[in-house]
Structure 1
Amino acid sequence: MEIIIKPVAYVRNSRKNIEDDNWGSIISEIELIDELDESSFQGVGDFSHLEIIFYFDHVTDDKIQYGARHPRNNKKLPKVGIFAQRGKNRPNKLGLTTAELIQHDGRKIIVKGLDAIDGTPIVDIKPVMKEFLPRKEIKQAKWSSELMKDYWR
């Protein structure tokens, strides 16, 4: 089976290089591709947060990881499978971030806290609805909290 996914928009922001931390203050503009009408964003302003699904286009195929590894290649952290971490070197190179919607203006939206670099292709955008959030307390590995301490700083 072949799956073809085309970008619906692109990211514009000040982050030109791939970095692991300090994404919390990043403001990004997401602009629809020419083929999509601005009505695609109609009603988006009624939501405070959006789930942004994007493609890690700077990850080369030789960097893809399919098995277990140390997150960020840090040997102090346990070796865990690629599906037990959120690293960019994923089999399908897809990223997902919940970002705060700051503004909607025609064909563009402005979001805060999107951890995607300038030029990143966006493959989908969904509103965050509380009914889709976990209904029970979230559990996570201890190492992940340590790893993320500066991520949104």
Structure 2
Amino acid sequence: MNTIRKSILIGLTVLGMGTASLAAHAADTTTSAAGRHGHQVNAEQMQAKMAEHFAARQAKLHELLKLTAQQEAAWTTYQAAIKPSAPASRPDHAALKALPAPERLAKMIELAKQHTATMESHLTALTAFYGTLTAEQKKVFDAKVMGGEHGPRGMRHGMMHRG
């Protein structure tokens, strides 16, 4: 059980970092700036697309879990708690660069603490909802949420495969 909790926490951390990175990238781009492949990128459009993708994934998970009427309230509470919010504004790199090293690190720690607080609230909601699931539903949930048997997305495509 402790391994599951650690895996969930690590997965939420990686997911949060990836989401923060995408949100930060979206916040930095404007409608007049060219995107990665020369396409116009709009922060609001990217955020709307990410929200749509999130909603579609959650709807599919809801369908696969086949929740009972008693579990629906827990599902609703869980969804409200994990729903992506508007991305936090990205710190101004020029301003950060101008800060002395100790103040820069203090600012980075402050941002990390905010991120950790968000992940902890997600973990609380996840734990409460997970406790309402049957053993079969837990298997489905574990397989579909945060990469399941393939591991968290960030671990699969990120640091774990860097030589």
What TM-score, normalized by structure 2, do the two folds share? 0.25
What's the TM-score, normalizing by structure 1?
Answer: 0.26
User: Higher helix share goes to which structure?
Assistant: 2
The higher-RCO structure (CA 8 Å, 6+ apart) is 1
Structure with the higher fraction of residues in strand conformation: 1
